[in-house]
Structure 1
Amino acid sequence: MASTIENRRRTPELRTFGSVIRRLREAAGLKQAELAALVNVSRAYIGHVELGKTRCRLDFAKRLDGALKADGEVVAAWNGLLESIKSVKYAAYFVNFPKVESTAKLIRVYETHVVNGLFQTEEYASAIVMDPDILNTRMNRQKQVMSAPAPKIFVVLEESVLHRQVGARDAMRRQLEYLLELSERSGVRLQVLPTVYVEDARAAFTIATQADRSDAAYLVTGMGGMTSADPDDLANLHERFASLQAEALNVRDTRALIRRVIEERWT
């Protein structure tokens, strides 16, 4: 099983980049341990890069380029690697939504089990996402959506999410503190939904609205999720979100509840 996972991570692009490093290292007459010493990493890490088991950062590629006196060839290979994997690793059922989300002027989110990916700290996200590439994709997605000019974001979050431990206790405290910080932003409206029954509110969903008022929605399902632009689906979700907001605490009471949960459960 472990070897199967490892093979999935060793993409052709990573193996190609690794072969460039190996060729340049051998041409320089260096052993892996000698190159590792020059760039201040372990020999094993150099081995992983050459085998395509990991993707190094640009700053490390530049250090390799200097150590190997490669005159920019390593950096060029790294840039080629980046271009080849720009179709970032979203889960298959999510693949149509990130582009819509990144250009939205308004985002409405209902979450039932975990903090929405846009609002997750890296600590919290890393307890959910095991693959480092997917984690990196999630954090980059956050930066893209939340950077200026950021959309208006309205979130209804089930109260149980505040109590459900994801990762370490300290990570939960920092995650809730981050929610408080985000809730103070002018374009964010965060409301917690107490444990009440809301008709048809059975699963998490997100609606992304563009400047031209067109909508697309991402709906969580038992098998992952689906993206829809069907007018009937969207009309139903708009109505559902309005019902959820009506039952949720207001913004100020939401902040007070989050502070109380931090103090009573996560401090």
Structure 2
Amino acid sequence: MDDTTDVTDGVDEPGWDVDPDDEIAPAVEMAGAQLKAWREGAGKRVVEFGLLIGYSEDLIRKIERGARIPRPEYLDKADSVLNAEGRISAMKKVMAEARYPKKVRELAKMEAQAVEFALYNNHNIHGLLQTEEYARALFEMRRPAYSPDDVARMLAARMARQSVFERSSAPELSFIQEEVTLRRPIGGRMVLRRQLERLLEVGQLRNVEIQVMPTNREDHAAIDGAMEVLKFGDGSAVGRAEGVFNSRPVSDRKQLRIIELRYGIIRGQALTPGESLAFIEQLLGET
């Protein structure tokens, strides 16, 4: 999708609208006010400015009043045209975070602080392990269908969360994947191949363990569905498991103990990390 549609075609460019009740609304409004001040300070009318950067007058007005989150490309072009010497482009980090759905922002904050992850998925590959192609295919197959712009927004958020692997103080990450998630060709055979290759790559990291829960196991401690536990440096934790506590996040120690018990048992029921990587290699060869 081209974000810089020529203003003469009469089509407003896609963007991310702001929910006035969202906590990020004030930051977006402030950014819009600053952009307007820069434009007016440079003596540029909206129409003239739009022609220079390749965006419609309507979109510019929405951004300047804080109703639309500016894309990184918009900020870079505005910075260049208005001779801001990087001060407008510097808004990209905050605006990039603002465009993510609220729930994703909250999850990303917790993941950025967690020192230990325990994650079990039974329908698809966990989001932290997904390739961009795989994640896109997942979003595009949802029904009712997401708009292309919603797909782009959620995809960017999911990929940004994977910065957890680049943290200087590396957390411990344990993933358990149901065997079917490694066989289901989400996005097609080549997308699955690259996804399996990604699992093998991440599985070599010293702070990451990937285990496979075989379909032929008679006992299964997580038969109710997916589960996750995030533990923090201060000793606190938050967990969620389908089928217990209404599938809502919990932090009470007694409730967490039940989720941790299930996770500990399924780790013992699954293939070991070494066996799992060998199994994934075998699947890759068959795909």
Query: Would you say same fold, with TM above 0.5?
Result: yes
Go from structure 1 to structure 2 and tell me whether the alpha carbon gap of 1:72 and 1:119 turns closer, same or farther (over 3 Å shift): closer
| 2:186 corresponds to | 166
Q: How far apart in 1 are the matches of 2:275 and 2:96? A: 47
Calculate the TM-score normalised by the size of structure 2: 0.70
Shift of 1:183: 0.6
Amino acid at match of 2:261: E
User: What RMSD over aligned residues (CA atoms) do the two structures have, in Å?
Assistant: 3.7
Q: Which runs of 5+ in 1 are unaligned?
A: 1-5, 37-41
| 1:143 corresponds to | 163
Among 61, 70, 86, the residue aligned to 1:55: 70
Q: How far apart in 1 are the matches of 2:96 and 2:186? A: 33
Go from structure 1 to structure 2 and tell me whether the alpha carbon gap of 1:74 and 1:203 turns closer, same or farther (over 3 Å shift): same
CA shift digits 1:246-265 (9 cap, x unpaired): 11111222112111212212
Go from structure 1 to structure 2 and tell me whether the alpha carbon gap of 1:140 and 1:220 turns closer, same or farther (over 3 Å shift): farther
Amino acid at match of 2:110: V
Go from structure 1 to structure 2 and tell me whether the alpha carbon gap of 1:116 and 1:49 turns closer, same or farther (over 3 Å shift): farther
Q: Are 2:16 and 2:99, in contact at CA under 8 Å, matched by a contact in 1?
A: no
Go from structure 1 to structure 2 and tell me whether the alpha carbon gap of 1:98 and 1:35 turns closer, same or farther (over 3 Å shift): closer
| 1:3 corresponds to | none
Q: How far apart in 2 are the matches of 1:134 and 1:193? A: 28
Q: Are 2:224 and 2:243, in contact at CA under 8 Å, matched by a contact in 1?
A: no
Q: Are 1:17 and 1:50, in contact at CA under 8 Å, matched by a contact in 2?
A: no
Q: How many residues align?
A: 248
Q: How far apart in 1 are the matches of 2:113 and 2:85? A: 39
Identity %: 24
Amino acid at match of 1:127: A
Shift of 1:11: 5.2
| 2:251 corresponds to | 229
Q: Which runs of 5+ in 2 are unaligned?
A: 1-13, 140-145
Go from structure 1 to structure 2 and tell me whether the alpha carbon gap of 1:73 and 1:258 turns closer, same or farther (over 3 Å shift): closer
Residues 1:216 and 2:260 aligned together: no
Single out whichever of 142-151 and 47-56 deviates more from structure 2.
47-56
Shift of 1:122: 1.8
| 2:120 corresponds to | 110
Q: How far apart in 2 are the matches of 1:261 and 1:85? A: 36
Q: Are 1:106 and 1:209, in contact at CA under 8 Å, matched by a contact in 2?
A: yes
Q: Are 1:101 and 1:145, in contact at CA under 8 Å, matched by a contact in 2?
A: no
Shift of 1:123: 1.8
SS of equivalent to 1:137: helix
Shift of 1:113: 0.8
| 2:8 corresponds to | none
Q: Are 1:109 and 1:155, in contact at CA under 8 Å, matched by a contact in 2?
A: yes
Single out whichever of 248-257 and 206-215 deviates more from structure 2.
206-215
Q: Are 1:156 and 1:193, in contact at CA under 8 Å, matched by a contact in 2?
A: yes
Go from structure 1 to structure 2 and tell me whether the alpha carbon gap of 1:208 and 1:60 turns closer, same or farther (over 3 Å shift): same
